[in-house]
């Protein structure tokens, strides 16, 4: 987990971009993993931990109807949380976690149901998730294992998105340098 967080921070630093975190089931573990890396203050804007469902709407702008109809454990909720924290904290990238760590099911979802999301500079949400990436997981283990794996998963998803954008940018530069062919 530490090496993934370090890789994420390295890429964000090189790109001159910032990160914000919205986490529910992980309760601050994502922010702790990021801030454990020296130099994280160069890119980490902060985090919001809206553990209570209504705070997802009040603090991050998650659609209240979506929360009423589907509950907090939903891929669209994760997507809107990521975009909301990016917007609210003024970051280039937002990541989020929501799910059921246990010991009991929540919102009709079994223990181990987790949704993690990434919203980047070109990803905005208007109603449905218009960009970025959501990963829906079914994790095994106890509460601690589910939470740790959720942290690992959201950081890995962000790293994948950052690396993909970097590869895309490099391809664009190569095309330019090669006369557009």
User: Above pLDDT 70, what percent of the chain?
Assistant: 85
Domains belonging to the chain, first-starting first, are 2-175 (3.90.950.20)
What single-letter DSSP state applies at residue 6? H
The structure's pTM equals: 0.87
- Residues 6+ away with beta carbon under 8 Å from 139: 99, 112, 114, 145, 146, 149, 150
- How many other CB atoms are there within 10 angstroms of residue 108's CB atom? 10
pLDDT tens per residue across span 155-179:
999 999 998 876 544 433 333 333 3
39 pLDDT band (50/70/90 cuts)? very high
What single-letter DSSP state applies at residue 65? H
The answer to whether the CB of 160 falls within 8 A of the CB of 152 is: no
Quickly list DSSP for 113-174: EEEEEEE-TT--EESEE-SSEEEEEE--S-HHHHHHHHHHHHHHHHHHHHHHHHHHHHHHHH
């Amino acid at each position: 987990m530490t090496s993934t967080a370090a890789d994420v921070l390295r890429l964000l630093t090189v790109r001159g971009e910032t990160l914000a975190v919205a986490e529910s089931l992980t309760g601050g573990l994502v922010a702790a993993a990021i801030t454990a890396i020296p130099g994280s203050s160069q890119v980490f804007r902060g985090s919001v931990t809206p553990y209570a469902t209504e705070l997802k709407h009040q603090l991050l702008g998650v659609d209240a109807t979506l929360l009423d109809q589907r509950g907090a454990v939903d891929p669209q909720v994760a997507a809107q949380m990521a975009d909301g924290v990016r917007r609210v904290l003024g970051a280039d990238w937002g990541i989020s976690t929501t799910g059921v760590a246990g010991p009991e099911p929540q919102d009709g979802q079994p223990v181990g149901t987790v949704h993690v999301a990434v919203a980047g500079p070109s990803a905005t949400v208007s109603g449905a998730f218009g960009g970025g990436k959501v990963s829906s997981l079914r994790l095994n283990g106890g509460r601690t294992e589910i939470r740790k794996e959720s942290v690992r998963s959201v950081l890995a998803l962000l790293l994948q998105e950052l690396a993909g954008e970097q590869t895309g940018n490099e391809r664009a530069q190569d095309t330019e340098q090669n006369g557009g062919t």
